[in-house]
Amino acid sequence: MERNQTYIVPGFAASGIAAGIKADGRPDLALIRSDVPAVAAGVFTTNRFPAAPVQIDRERVARGTARAILANSGNANAATGPDGLKDALATSRELALRLAIPEHEVLVASTGVIGHRLPLDKILAGLPGLVADLSPGGIPAAEEAILTTDRFPKLAVARARCGGRDVAVCGLAKGAGMIEPHMATMLAFILTDAVVPRDDLDRLFRRAVRSTFNAISVDGCESTNDTALILANGVAANRPITAGGADGRRFGAMLTEVMGHLARAMVEDGEGATKRVDLCVSGARNRAEARRIAYAVARSNLVKTAFYGGDPNWGRIIAAAGSVGIALTADRVALHFEDVLMFADGKGRAPDPERISAIMSRPVVHIRLDLGMGRASFIVQTSDLTHDYVALNAHYHT
């Protein structure tokens, strides 16, 4: 039970079971419960066709507290119209009764196929067992139950002294395809026992999202279901953490550590990915421009296939950077693959083929594109585009 000890957060219990939503019998229904009402914050997809659970959570998170998260995989409950909303509400109502908590303190999340009604009977039939299985060591079981095409679970934990007490931050996530800014088809649940006032939690969480879940790209597609939630149940009884102070900085660093770990894991587990590319665009006039150029490169299919082939094709990176309509001075731009200069003074260099070949064969490659215009930068994590990505997505059933 060493593993379970690792992912324990005081005051939280979790469980995961196979309710029969997935045809193959893998776990597909997860529950997280806080012993006491927890301060809640959330970030959701900006897609104009948000799934039913996203519509519900948006309203409920705005109330400021939550007690439980009920999540299923195997069915996204998206593009299901008013029926989908009714189905999601029926599951949260039944769970609220069983946990004896107000219904609005239940958050819901779904991931899987779009356009099919939730198998309501299976979920309702699964709830008694799911509640009975709740335990402090149940977080890894809950994690298993939210995975879809993921090849490995994504869990992370950080512990530190904060506000005079030891506090824990633990995260569980799923992702794989459709990973992009606005956190496409990802679910991430962050649990902490710290005392954090609602507005501070919201600020600290959003700030951490910007450099983690909103700084990754697998295939440039945005889901209807993306949800990142944080629950802070205050069981640690620390001095309240404010966003501005030293405690806030320490707590923010914990969030970034946990969420950054989950974000990198999502890219490494990107559908079909064999490689992670850590792309830093620096020397921009402002962060927004750095971000736009970073994403243009990170999303380029030509760049992504080149990394798959182990081809140090700097020309495709330059072409992608030049395509977004931001004025660049070619002579000032410098491109490094790790510490090797590939492009400068408007033309390509001739680096040592053996060194470059060694760099391209690494599982993580660091690319730095300096624009030579200013001091702003943005780092994005992206994956390569492979045969397996095509195979997975050409034959995923609707």
Residue with tokens 């002294």: 161
CA distance 216 to 291: 11
23 binds a second copy (CB under 8 A): no
CA distance 50 to 277: 30
User: Which of 148, 82, 147 has its CA nearest to residue 117?
Assistant: 82
Cβ atoms within 10 Å of 59's Cβ, excluding its own = 9
Work out whether strand 347-348 and strand 276-284 pair parallel, antiparallel, or are unpaired.
Answer: unpaired
Work out whether strand 187-192 and strand 227-232 pair parallel, antiparallel, or are unpaired.
Answer: parallel
Contact characters 29-68, a second copy, x per CB under 8 A? -----------------xxxx-------------------
Q: Out of 20, 37, 140, 322, point to the residue binding a second copy (CB under 8 A).
A: 322
299 binds a second copy (CB under 8 A): yes
Phi-psi region of 310 (alpha: psi -120 to 50; beta: other; left: phi over 0): left
Contact characters 255-294, a second copy, x per CB under 8 A? ----------------------------------------
Stretch that binds a second copy, among 23-31, 127-135, 280-288, 296-304 (CB under 8 A): 296-304
383 binds a second copy (CB under 8 A): no
325 binds a second copy (CB under 8 A): yes
Q: Please count the residues of this chain forming the interface with a second copy, following the rule CB under 8 A.
A: 69
Residues of this chain, 62-91, that bind a second copy according to CB under 8 A? 76, 78-84
Q: Out of 20, 102, 315, 372, point to the residue binding a second copy (CB under 8 A).
A: 315
Of 79 and 246, nearer to a second copy (C-beta) is 79
Least Cβ distance, residue 183 to a second copy (angstroms): 12
Stretch that binds a second copy, among 58-66, 131-139, 141-149, 324-332 (CB under 8 A): 324-332
362 binds a second copy (CB under 8 A): no
327 binds a second copy (CB under 8 A): yes
How far are the Cα atoms of 53, 60, 124, 394 from residue 87, in angstroms, in the given order? Answer: 10, 16, 10, 29
Q: Does the CA dihedral 237-241-247-250 come out positive or negative?
A: positive
Q: Out of 275, 316, 336, 368, point to the residue binding a second copy (CB under 8 A).
A: 316
- 3 state SS for 155-189: EEEEEEEECCEEEEEEEEEECCCCCCCCCCCCEEE
Q: Out of 131, 160, 319, 379, point to the residue binding a second copy (CB under 8 A).
A: 319
- Reply yes or no on whether 185 is catalytic: yes
3-class SS of residue 149: coil
How far are the Cα atoms of 313, 351, 360 from residue 357, in angstroms, in the given order? Answer: 11, 10, 5
Q: Which of 91, 148, 149, 185 is catalytic?
A: 185
Contact characters 177-196, a second copy, x per CB under 8 A? xx---x-x------------
Cβ atoms within 10 Å of 261's Cβ, excluding its own = 18
3-class SS of residue 148: coil
311 binds a second copy (CB under 8 A): yes
Of 178 and 194, nearer to a second copy (C-beta) is 178
* DSSP structure class, residue 213: G
CA distance 30 to 27: 8
Residues of this chain, 102-121, that bind a second copy according to CB under 8 A? 113-116
CA distance 275 to 364: 6
For residue 155, the cross-strand partners are 172
CA distance 380 to 310: 19
Least Cβ distance, residue 184 to a second copy (angstroms): 8
Least Cβ distance, residue 117 to a second copy (angstroms): 9
Residues near a second copy (CB under 8 A) are: 46-49, 76, 78-84, 113-116, 177-178, 182, 184, 219-224, 299-302, 305-306, 308-309, 311-316, 318-323, 325-328, 330-331, 343, 345-348, 385-387, 389-391, 393-398
Residues belonging to the active site: 185
